[in-house]
Amino acid sequence: MDHNRAISPEDIADMIEISQTLYRGLRYTDEKKWEERVMYFTHDLTIDFGGVKPSQIIKASALMDWARLAYALVDTMHISTNLDVQLHGERATSFSYGHARHQRTDTADYWHIYARYEHSYVRT
């Protein structure tokens, strides 16, 4: 996005749509709506858990299969803040910070994860 020009109404609409895509995806994760969640990814995607495991290219369906197992006994609540959307024609990027509370449903143990999210988007 050219920061030297005014933001157009179309840009604002695109930024809102991207914001909603990010927030809805996080909510679908919390609600364990994996079929809806997978719709927000391309077929193959690059995922990086920030040093927890190596960056990898994975099929979106494989990521959802992993999430089904990993979160079977875990309730989550993802919160995203400081969203910055950058438009680049038919593509866009977003940067944000996140806080996710995880709690096991069988033991009630819980933990918090703080994250920095970087997403890329392609208009379809």
pLDDT tens digits, one per residue of 61-76: 999 999 999 999 999 9
Determine the topology of domain 9-122 in CATH: Nuclear Transport Factor 2; Chain: A, (3.10.450)
What mean pLDDT value characterizes the chain? 92
| Contact residues for 39 (Cβ-Cβ < 8 A; gap 6+) | none
| Contact residues for 22 (Cβ-Cβ < 8 A; gap 6+) | 80, 83, 94, 96, 117, 119
What does DSSP assign to residue 55? -
- The domain limits of the chain are 9-122
User: Which pTM value belongs to this model?
Assistant: 0.85
